[in-house]
Each structure stands twice: as C-alpha cells, then as structure tokens.
Amino acid sequence: MFESKQVIVLGERDGIAGPAIAACVKSAGGNVAFASTECFV
C-alpha cells in the first residue's frame, strides 16, 4: 500500500494524534514525509 509513496499524516487533537498514526505507518513499512496533529479551535 505504501510502496514508493510519501505519506502525509494529519492527526487531530480530538481524534487520533499524528504520532500514533505515523507509528502505524512506519510499522507497515511506509515512509512518513510529514506528520502533524491539527487542532480546529
């Protein structure tokens, strides 16, 4: 799924935090190009 792809992670404070998603992507062999945790308010 992540082969030769750059992964952008947009986590959200009220949802799933960026680092948690990034850790999952890395464990699945993905290359995380950018990760952040957004906040609407």
Partner 1 sequence: MDLNSQEVIKRLADEHGSDQLVVILGAPDAESAEIAAETVVLGDPTYAGALAEARDDISVVMLEAPKARRVCIRLKVHGLPTFLLMHDGEEVARLSASTISPAQLNDWLDTSLDEMREEVS
Q: Could you tell me whether strands 6-12 and 31-38 are parallel, antiparallel, or unpaired per DSSP bridges?
A: parallel
To partner 1, the closest distance from the beta carbon of 38 in angstroms equals 6
The binder of partner 1 chosen from 23, 26, 29, 37 (CB under 8 A): 37
To partner 1, the closest distance from the beta carbon of 39 in angstroms equals 8
Give the DSSP letter string of the chain.
Answer: --TT-EEEEEEETTS--HHHHHHHHHHTT-EEEEEEEE---
Q: Which is nearer to partner 1, 27 or 40 (CB)?
A: 40
The binder of partner 1 chosen from 8, 23, 27, 29 (CB under 8 A): 8
